[in-house]
Amino acid sequence: MNVLIVGGGGREHALAWKLLQSSNVEQVFCVPGNGGTALLPNCQNLPATEEDFASIANYAQEKAVSFVVVGPELPLTQGIRDALQRDNIPVFGPTQTATQIEASKWWAKSLMQEVGISTANGETFTDAAPAKAYISQQGTPIVVKADGLAAGKGVTVAETVEDAHHAIDALFAANTPQVVVEQCLTGQEVSVIAVTDGIAVRPLLPAQDYKRIGEGDTGGNTGGMGAYAPAPLMSSQLLKQVTDTILQPTINALRERGIDYQGVLYAGLMITPEGEPKVLEFNCRFGDPETQVILPLLETPLEEVITACLDKRLESLPPLQWLQKKALCVVATSAGYPGSYEKGKAIAGINQVKDALVFHAGTRLDAEQNLLTSGGRVLGATGLGDDFDQAADQAYSAIAQIHFSGCYYRSDIGYHVRYQS
Ligand code: AMP
Ligand code: GLY
């Protein structure tokens, strides 16, 4: 079969690489893809933007793809599933209505509060004055969030009432229509990414990502500077609890509301000091760079998992098989990211990497087939090992072999699980 992937980041390179390992998958097409997917055997980039649903539908038909996998949230929230479904093209991903679980934090929180899913208590506001009054009454620390998609930039964890009020003013000044103010949770964060056919739900291995630009989790938020899996914090017992008390009830509640949620349900969780999992956010897509550590550990062919979801027979799919190893991914960025950065820097050394997987993100090939930087997050190296130290050594050795002007990466990815012995 042929498959089309929408997106052009490290997550999509990992999806293409994983799908092509399956003997049933002959050819993968990426719209728009990146330098890594351009170089991947049996993979071809096709020129169009992620939001150009008409071109994507044409390509899907022309290339006779069996299904389309959508990486980023934007095309999903803009209704790519609904649009392609009108042409009978199967899409692994939720409908536009269902993507509100990520696109509106208040929609998601209301659903959780109605069903009794554990999450931070909160309120929503469309005006600054009542929001500020609520903050003064609740006290700090407190969390202020933009209701809509904000690429990780819409959240302030405020230590003082003044900071929280300032965050409210800043959001309304930026014409944010609605904000959510919620209780500040403490504990350790972990991501549980699950696949669902709208009836059953199967968690993949739990992962932890590193969102901040600076070492020791300091500085601005990014798309993700690294990740590791499986997160030991999430024991199999806790994962079962998350499945039974968070993931499955969410899918059931959506179904009861007539929403066919098929695709990926990603729960960003806080494990409180008491060991209780609480939902920080839901996403309607695979995580990036979590995908780059989860998929290399998945032994079950990904295309079998996806087709089970598309055919609504996930319940009867045999248990997912996992490699008994650890994976750790280190992301290299352009200087200046997550602020402004330069593009077009030559990338050298990738071919020297032997022991790690290199997933491209912001890279492109020029007319002479030179590999150049073209984004903030340029690439990630995933190492696999019997323990996290070994996985980290592989990832960091790979990153050290790769060169481009202004290359930056965090040297402490996985510090929660490294140096333990
Ligand atoms: P979100 O986009 O909602 O996941 O928020 C981004 C980041 O803000 C999370 O990964 C957490 O580090 C932090 N955060 C969000 N909500 C809370 C909360 N209620 N309590 C503490 N930290 C939070
Ligand atoms: N790594 C965080 C995300 O994909 O949302």
What CATH number does residue 88 fall under? 3.40.50.20
CB 259 near ligand 1, within 6 Å: no
For residues 135-153, give the mean pLDDT: 86
Lowest mean pLDDT, pick from 148-152, 243-247, 365-369: 148-152
Whether residues 196 and 311 share a domain: the answer is yes
CB 288 near ligand 2, within 6 Å: yes
Whether residues 298 and 276 share a domain: the answer is yes
Q: What is the pLDDT at residue 392?
A: 98
Whether residues 226 and 156 share a domain: the answer is no
Which residues make Cβ contacts (< 8 Å) with residue 49, sequence separation at least 6?
31, 32
pTM above threshold 0.85: yes
Whether residues 302 and 224 share a domain: the answer is yes
CB 290 near ligand 2, within 6 Å: yes
| CA–CA separation, 61 and 349 (whole Å) | 37
Q: For ligand 1, atom 19, which residue shows the shortest CA distance?
A: 184
- Mark which of 281, 316, 351 sits at the end of a domain: 316
Is residue 113 situated within a structural domain? no
- Mark which of 93, 113, 133 sits at the end of a domain: 93
Whether residues 304 and 196 share a domain: the answer is yes
Show the tokens assigned to 290: 């979590």
Q: What is the pLDDT at residue 153?
A: 64
- Regarding predicted confidence, which is higher, 113 or 419? 113
How far apart are the two ends of the chain, measured CA to CA in Å? Answer: 46
In angstroms, what is the span from residue 285 Cα to ligand 2's centroid?
9
Q: What is the pLDDT at residue 419?
A: 82
Whether residues 276 and 344 share a domain: the answer is no
Q: For ligand 1, atom 16, which residue shows the shortest CA distance?
A: 280
Whether residues 356 and 305 share a domain: the answer is no
Q: What is the pLDDT at residue 151?
A: 63
Whether residues 195 and 311 share a domain: the answer is yes
Ligand minimally distant from the alpha carbon of residue 122: 1
Whether residues 192 and 175 share a domain: the answer is no
CB 293 near ligand 1, within 6 Å: no
Taken as a whole, the chain contains a residue count of: 421
Q: Calculate the alpha carbon distances from 250 to 24, 76, 99, 279 in Å.
A: 32, 19, 13, 11
Total count of domains within the chain: 4
Q: For ligand 1, atom 18, which residue shows the shortest CA distance?
A: 184
Using the predicted structure, report yes or no on whether residue 221 has a pLDDT greater than 90: no
- Least Cα distance to 384 among 374, 371, 398 occurs for 398
CB 7 near ligand 2, within 6 Å: no
CB atoms within 10 A of CB 306: 23
Give yes or no for a contact between 223 and 283, defined as CB atoms under 8 angstroms apart: no
Using the predicted structure, report yes or no on whether residue 394 has a pLDDT greater than 70: yes
Taking only the tens place, the pLDDT of each residue in 273-328 is 999 999 999 999 999 999 999 999 999 999 999 999 999 999 999 999 999 999 99
For residues 166-186, give the mean pLDDT: 93
Q: What is the pLDDT at residue 421?
A: 59
Q: What is the pLDDT at residue 127?
A: 94
Using the predicted structure, report yes or no on whether residue 154 has a pLDDT greater than 80: no
Ligand 1 mutation target, pool 159, 280, 281, most atoms within 8 A of CB: 280
Using the predicted structure, report yes or no on whether residue 152 has a pLDDT greater than 90: no
Is residue 106 situated within a structural domain? no
CB 209 near ligand 2, within 6 Å: yes
Range of the domain at 381: 326-400
CB 358 near ligand 1, within 6 Å: no
Which residue bears the tokens 């050795």? Answer: 397
Query: Among the atoms of ligand 1, which is closest to the Cα of residue 122?
Result: 19
CB 108 near ligand 1, within 6 Å: no
Using the predicted structure, report yes or no on whether residue 149 has a pLDDT greater than 90: no
- Mark which of 297, 316, 335 sits at the end of a domain: 316
Whether residues 193 and 299 share a domain: the answer is yes
Give percent of the chain with pLDDT exceeding 70.
99
Which residues make Cβ contacts (< 8 Å) with residue 258, sequence separation at least 6?
none
Using the predicted structure, report yes or no on whether residue 251 has a pLDDT greater than 90: yes
Q: For ligand 2, atom 3, which residue shows the shortest CA distance?
A: 287
Ligand minimally distant from the alpha carbon of residue 105: 1
Q: What is the pLDDT at residue 329?
A: 98
Which residues make Cβ contacts (< 8 Å) with residue 365, sequence separation at least 6?
35, 38, 39, 371, 372
Taking only the tens place, the pLDDT of each residue in 325-362 is 999 999 999 999 999 999 999 999 999 999 999 999 99
Is residue 21 situated within a structural domain? yes
CB 102 near ligand 1, within 6 Å: no
Ligand 2 mutation target, pool 11, 77, 191, 208, most atoms within 8 A of CB: 191
In angstroms, what is the span from residue 224 Cα to ligand 1's centroid?
14
CB 120 near ligand 1, within 6 Å: yes
Is residue 415 situated within a structural domain? no
Is residue 258 situated within a structural domain? yes
- Regarding predicted confidence, which is higher, 283 or 149? 283
Whether residues 197 and 312 share a domain: the answer is yes
Using the predicted structure, report yes or no on whether residue 205 has a pLDDT greater than 90: yes
Q: What is the pLDDT at residue 311?
A: 98
Is residue 175 situated within a structural domain? yes
| CA–CA separation, 226 and 209 (whole Å) | 6
